A = this chain, B = another copy of it.
Amino acid sequence: MKKRVFVTLKPGVLDPQGRAVHHALDGLGFDGVEDVRIGRLVELELADGVSDEKVAEMCEKLLANTVIENYRIEDAG
C-alpha cells in the first residue's frame, strides 16, 4: 500500500528556498513566474492495514514541523 504525504509551509511563513528558486528562474529569463513555494513529498510504502491515523501520527511526530508546516495525506495506489 502506498501513501503520499505533502508537506508545505503554512501561508505567511517566509520561504527562502522558494525565493532563491524564483530569483534563479528570473535569472534564466523565465517570465511570468509570480511566486515559488517549495515543499516536501514523502512517499511511504506501507504494509496493508496501516491506518491514515497512524500516518498522521508519523507526520505529527517526524515528517512535518507542525509549527510552520501543513501536511496532507493522499492515497497513491
Contacts and interface: CB of A to CB of B under 8 A. Distances in A.
Interface of A: 6-8, 21, 24-25, 28, 30-47, 49-50, 54, 57-58, 61-63
Number of copies: 2
B32 A62 contact: no
A45 B38 contact: no
A46 B24 contact: no
Contacts of A7: 41
Contacts of A41: 6-8, 38-41
A24 B34 CA distance: 37
Contacts of A50: 31-33
Sorted from nearest, which 4 A-B pairs have the closest CB atoms? A32-B47, A35-B45, A39-B41, A37-B43
